[in-house]
Structure 1
Amino acid sequence: MPELHVGARHWSVSTGSNLLDALNQAGVAVPYSCRAGSCHACLVRCQGEVEDKQPDALSPAQRQDGWRLACQCQVTGDVQVEAFDPLRDGAAATVLSADWLSPTVLRLRLQPERGLRYRAGQHLVLWAGTVARPYSLASLPQDDPFLEFHLDCRLPGEFSDLARQLQAGDQLRLGELRGGALHYDPDWQSRPLWLLASGTGLAPLWGVLREALRQDHQGAIRVIHLAHDTGAHYLAEPLAQLAASHDNLTVELWTAAQLAGALAQLRLVSRQTLALLCGHPDSVEAFSKRLFLAGLPRNQLLADVFLPRG
């Protein structure tokens, strides 16, 4: 049977075991979130025999350096594992503020120790001690002198429970910066742009929206935010302010009770429309199905999902 080696420890595992499960079951605390190769919270450095199910999820330089996503690896032989150490491998960041945008959404603003080059729509893994969680950036690098994140604290969670206690001056660590499907392309400038989000899936699209407006997007922009109830539309006021100052921007605030009827009324004005979707998988799937039925070509829909843990 293959053996895993972590520091001075070593133990046997079954061939084909998932590396993340084998480590966590043995008490080696490797954080994770999506288990789909998207969030990158489970980065580990490996030497040995593993079968990587998503070899393209990391850059060639990272793979050359031995990094792997534990959730995507099966153990096929003996493996030496070194977990991501936020103190050694991450970057420091100071909490500037932690305030509530709604009863369940915490806005966290951080000042990184050194400059971070990013674009609207990307996400970072945040570390509080040994607890890690990926969050989308809601800030815009050209406009905001901080990193902003919108944390959904409606349900208990290891990181969100810790985040509730954060105060200005507290220290966190930053993991890997990642980019998903969401971004703004200047070549889209004249095309209709739809941004559809559920919950805090609005965070990266808030950045994408402001980037589109910063680049003077000429096409119509339609923002749809789906929330549990009217009180959960946590960016309603700033969205209304943007809509009041940009004639090409419309904002629609939907609740869960209105979803079926609102989706049934969804119509495309132009087949040149581009749609960016973000949020819970069920919401993204519901948006996607309706857009496809309405005639949106599949290659004109970009989506990131906030996958539930476990």
Structure 2
Amino acid sequence: MPELYVGERHWPVSTGSNLLDALNQAGVAVPSSCRAGSCHACLVRCQGEVQDKQPDALSAAQRQEGWRLACQCQVMGDVRVETFDPLKDGQAARVLRADWLTSSVLRLRLEPARGLRYQAGQHLVLWAGNVARPYSLASLPQVDAFLEFHLDCRLPGKFSDAARALKTGDSLRLGELRGAALQYDPDWQARPLWLIGSGTGIAPLWGVLREALRQDHQGPIRVIHLAHDDTAHYLAEPLAALAASHPHLTVELWTAAELAQALAQLRLVSRQTLALLCGHPVHVEAFSKRLFLAGLPRNQLLADVFLPRG
């Protein structure tokens, strides 16, 4: 049987065992979230024989350094594992503000210890002690002097539970910065741009929207925010303020009760439209299907899903 080695410890595991499960079952605390290779919370450094189900999830440079996503690896032979240490491998950040935009959406603004180069639409793994979870950036690097995140705290979770207690001056650690599917390309400047988010899926789109406006996007921009009820449209006021000063920007606030009827009435004005979607997988799938039926070419849709906690 293969042996797993972590520090001074080693123990046998069955061939083909999931690496994340094998580590956690032995008491090695490796955080995880999506278990789909998307969130990168379970990053570990490996030496040995593992079969990686998603080799393209990490960059070539990361793989060369031995980093792997534990949830995507099967143990095929002896493996030495070094877990991600946020104190050594991460970057320090200080809480500037932690305020509630609604009863369930917490806005975190962080000041990193050193400058962080990122683009609108990317996300970071945040560490509170030994608890980690990825969150999309809602801030804009050229404009904001902080990193902003919108945390959905409706449901209990280790990170959201820890986040509720955060206050100004508290410390967090920043993990890996990931390039998400969402972005703004200056070549899109003249084309219709649709930004559709559900829940806190509007957070990265808020950054993308401001980046498009910063780059003087000329085509019409349509923003749709789907929320479970009217009280959950937590960016309604700032979106309305932007729409008031940009005539080519329209904002629509949908609720779950209106979704079926609103989707049925969704029409494309131009086949040159580009659509960026973000949120719960069920909502992203519903919007995607409707847009494809309306004639949107598949290569003109970019989507990033917020996977449920695994």
Please report the TM-score for the alignment, with normalisation by the length of structure 2: 0.99
In structure 2, C-alpha distance between the alignment counterparts of 1:309 and 1:165, rounded to whole Å: 20
**Alignment partner, residue 296 of structure 1:** 296
**Alignment partner, residue 80 of structure 1:** 80
**Alignment partner, residue 67 of structure 1:** 67
**Alignment partner, residue 55 of structure 2:** 55
Letter in 1 for 2:256: A
In structure 1, C-alpha distance between the alignment counterparts of 2:14 and 2:7, rounded to whole Å: 20
**Alignment partner, residue 256 of structure 1:** 256
Letter in 2 for 1:279: G
Letter in 1 for 2:142: Q
**Alignment partner, residue 193 of structure 2:** 193
**Alignment partner, residue 6 of structure 1:** 6
**Alignment partner, residue 267 of structure 1:** 267
Write out per-residue CA displacement over residues 27-76 of structure 1, whole angstroms, 9 at most, x where no aligned residue: 11101111111111110000110011111111111111111110111100
1:175 aligned to 2:175? yes
| TM-superposed deviation, 1:274 | 0.2
Letter in 1 for 2:207: G
In structure 2, C-alpha distance between the alignment counterparts of 1:104 and 1:309, rounded to whole Å: 16
SS of the equivalent of 1:266 reads: coil
SS of the equivalent of 1:38 reads: coil
SS of the equivalent of 2:247 reads: coil
Q: Extract structure 1 runs of 4+ deviating beyond 6 A.
A: none
1:91 aligned to 2:91? yes
1:107 aligned to 2:84? no
1:218 aligned to 2:227? no
In structure 2, C-alpha distance between the alignment counterparts of 1:299 and 1:248, rounded to whole Å: 24
Please report the TM-score for the alignment, with normalisation by the length of structure 1: 0.99
In structure 1, C-alpha distance between the alignment counterparts of 2:60 and 2:263, rounded to whole Å: 42
Letter in 2 for 1:93: A
SS of the equivalent of 2:63 reads: helix
In structure 1, C-alpha distance between the alignment counterparts of 2:2 and 2:186, rounded to whole Å: 50
Letter in 2 for 1:123: H
In structure 1, C-alpha distance between the alignment counterparts of 2:60 and 2:252, rounded to whole Å: 42
Q: Percent identity?
A: 85
SS of the equivalent of 1:277 reads: strand
Letter in 1 for 2:200: T
SS of the equivalent of 2:267 reads: coil
**Alignment partner, residue 16 of structure 1:** 16
In structure 2, C-alpha distance between the alignment counterparts of 1:287 and 1:136, rounded to whole Å: 20
1:139 aligned to 2:139? yes
The runs of 5 or more residues in structure 1 that have no matched partner are: none
Letter in 1 for 2:205: L
SS of the equivalent of 2:17 reads: coil
The runs of 5 or more residues in structure 2 that have no matched partner are: none
Write out per-residue CA displacement over residues 91-111 of structure 1, whole angstroms, 9 at most, x where no aligned residue: 000000000111110000000
- What is the aligned residue count? 310
Structure 1, 9-18 or 87-96: larger mean CA deviation? 9-18
Structure 1, 17-26 or 271-280: larger mean CA deviation? 17-26
